[in-house]
Every structure is written in structure tokens, then in C-alpha cells.
Chains A and B, each alone.
Chain A
Amino acid sequence: MTGMCYIKNVTTLKLNQTACTGCGRCIEVCPHQVFALEGRKARIDDRDACMECGACAKNCPVNIIAVDAGVGCASGMISEWLQEHNVPGIKSGGRCC
């Protein structure tokens, strides 16, 4: 997405290329075109575009993609964080977009 890039070098995305069958599923599900097919293997092409949605990991039939997708959405994480750090009174309510 032009003009919309998030912080670099943070994604937890990992791909074990050796076992890849080249089925292309990861390319089909990734909303940010992170993967590209190179010969018969998937390759991480645009790592920093990854938003850690977890779609690729969940849909890879040979289970060779790992990413810390976590649960819920980010605004929920803020209240999670506030609660963990015992900040009283502020809550974003664990809601979702």
C-alpha cells in the first residue's frame, strides 16, 4: 500500500523454504503480497509489509510458516498491556475495529 508502511524489522514471520511444495497457498491468502514464488519454492519477498495476520501460517498445508499472530486486534492489546502494567482507569474495552 503506498504511503502506508509500518515499522521495519519487527515481524516474527519465518519460512522454512526447504520443505516448500510450491503450492502457492501463502501467496493466495497474504493481503500484503509478502511472498513470491521462485522456481518451485515460496520466498519472503517483502518482509516489512507483513502485518502478522497469520493467514499464511494457518493455510500452509505442510506447516512450514510460523508467525506470532496472537489473538484479537491491536487496540485490544493496548488494554491488555495497560492491565498487565496495572494502569487503572484507562480501558479501550477489548473491542474490535
Chain B
Amino acid sequence: MEQTGGEISDKVPGFIAWMDTPSGKVPQISTTLSNVDHLGACMARWGINRMGYIVPPGLYAIGTPDSAALVVVTANYKMSYDRVRSALSGRNLWLLVLETFGVNVWCAAGKGTFGTGELVKRINKADLQKVLTQRQLILPILGAPGISAHEVAKRTGFSVQYAAIRADDLPRFFDHKMITTPEMRKVSFTTYERLVLIPVEIVLTLKSLALISAVVFLIAFMANGYSASVVMALACLGAVLTGVVTVPILLPWIPFRSFVLKGLLAGLGWCSLLYYSVGGCSWDITTTAAAFLGLPAISAFYSLNFTGCTTFTSRSGVKKEMHLGIPALGAAIMVSAVLLAVGRFL
């Protein structure tokens, strides 16, 4: 069951006071984030209480907006809400928060929860037609995959303007006659933007990571004894982390467009590093072959997984990679395991 944002009350983050409007009371909220807000954001990045990181959907007031003030629309993921309100500091605007079940604008638009139906529903529920004399909504560009602007206009009379990709660009947008510059329209995927995605990826992989390491350790322990099993478990752990951490960080600098190839290359790097640091020249031929086959394949699988987080990979591209890549990677890991087993009996 998806978690909802609940009802607006005086407990909403940043609550200052109630404001009277023709359609009832609206909470006026602060544009300054508190330490609690910053801590919450940090925890959410590590996947802690991420599901509870949600605000109630509905209409909020920033400053003292009147009936002619503009309306900015966002999702009810608390980080989206915090980003937008802090970017609107010093202005008088309405903030309309959609119920996206605590998911950010981009992912919610892809799922359709940041969508035409929900927007129309929120406009009617907040009775925007009564609160406002103007008929314009400002939306984030990354919400466009879920919204059909002409449909919204037809059903509510409100026209939609897509302002910018990043909330940080909103001040510039409002200060410059509400014109979206080409820069504001360009999606970015900077090192920082990639970095902040990694913690939660690690947390999400922890379970399979622990499992894989444990299984590998046990098998190796039974077969080859303690020190070999530690090396093997570490080798696999490193291969996974190469896919989950190294590839995302070094993304633009690793050659190839394909994430499978990027992962293979990075995995090969990890394997070579391991080979030279733990004295791989003493490995027998099957172990060496198994390592150089299996470890890059593990990295490639995990780096393919990262396509879900990027802002530039297409569905058809991922499909193509999976179609060719997953059978090949699966085969490589299998052959690698067989090699290790065979090596035991040689």
C-alpha cells in the first residue's frame, strides 16, 4: 500500500500561520529550512525513513499571496517541497502540492501520479477558481511526462507554463519576466547529482550484497580454506561496489555509451587492481580466468542497474542492453563458477 501525505494541518513543515482565502484556511509556510529539514534530507538520502518523507497535498501560501498571485506546482516528496519553498524565499506565491505518494516530480511523472488527473483533482479540491482571479500554473519541466497541458486547460481553464528543470532556477525565472532560458531547460547530471544518489543505491544493494558475499565466502571456505575465501568474498564485494559506486561517479569519463560495457571495463579495472594487490601471479590458471570473467560481469550487471537513476538513458536503449547483456553476463558468471569448481579438481 502506498503511503499518502494525509491532511493539511498546523503540523505541516514550516507552518507559520493560517491564512484566510475565499475557499477556507490555507497554511502559510516558511521559506527557511530548519535543521530538522536538513537532517531529514540527509537521512532520506541514506534511505532512512524515506517512505515517511512526505507532506500533505493541497494548497500552501508562501509570503502573503493574493488572488492575482501565481501558483507553483510540486510533488509531495518532502525534499521537493523543501527545495521549492526555499527557492521562493521573499516572494508572494501559492504552492500547490500534488499527491505523488512521497515520490519526487520526475519519477512520479514517469509513473503518472504527478499527472493530469491528480492536478485537475487538486485544483478542484483547493477550489483554485475561487481563490484566484488569474488562470496560470507554473510547473516543473520534469513533471511534463505526466501532464498534458492542453488537457488541463480544457478541464480547468488553467493554462500551464513549464518553468525550469531545477527549483534553484525559479528565482531567475521569476526575476526575468518568467522566461525560461535554454540553460534552465537542460537536464544535468553533475558529479554532485550522481554522488547524492549513491548512498541509497548502496543501502538498496546491501541485502543482495550480504547474501552474495556470504555464499561466496562459504563455498570458498569449504573448498579452499579461510584466507582464499576472504579474498573471494572481498573480490565479489568490490565488483558489486564498482558497479554501484565507481561507475556512477566516473560515468562521463568511462568510455562507451553502453552501461554494460562501462561496467565491464570498470570491473576489469577492479579485477586487475585485486590481481596486483593480493599477488594474483600465484593464482592458478582457472582461478585467474574465473576472476577476470566473473568479476567484470558482476560490475556490469550493477552498473546497468544504475540506468534507472540517470537523466539520459532511454527505455529502448536499456531494453537493447538487457536483451544482449543479461544473457551474456549470466553466462560469464556461470562459466566463472564452473572454472572455479573445475580448478578444485585439477
Contacts and interface: CB of A to CB of B under 8 A. Distances in A.
A59 B147 contact: yes
A14 B167 CA distance: 30
A72 B162 contact: no
Contacts, number: 149
A66 to B, nearest CB: 13
A49 B326 CA distance: 24
Nearest to B261: A7
A59 B153 CA distance: 11
Contacts of B306: 75
Given A1-B312, A6-B314, A28-B162, A69 B252 contact: no
Contact of A32 (B104, B253, B305, B312): B312
A1 B186 contact: yes
B185 A33 contact: yes
A8 interface: yes
Interface residues of A, number: 49
Given A7-B321, A58-B144, A59-B148, A52 B186 contact: no
B257 A7 contact: yes
A55 B341 CA distance: 51
B311 A51 contact: yes
Interface in A5-25: 5-8, 10-12, 25
Contacts of A78: 304-305, 308, 318, 322
B125 interface: no
Contact of A75 (B147, B180, B308): B308
Interface of B: 103-104, 106-107, 109-112, 141-142, 144-150, 162, 165, 180, 182, 185-189, 197, 204, 208, 251-253, 257-258, 304-322, 326, 330
Interface of A: 1-8, 10-12, 25, 28-33, 49-55, 58-59, 61, 68-78, 81-82, 85, 87, 90, 92-93, 95-97
24 contacts: A4-B310, A4-B312, A7-B314, A10-B319, A11-B317, A29-B162, A31-B187, A32-B312, A49-B312, A53-B145, A58-B148, A59-B147, A59-B148, A61-B149, A61-B150, A72-B111, A73-B110, A74-B307, A74-B308, A75-B308, A78-B318, A92-B308, A96-B103, A97-B104
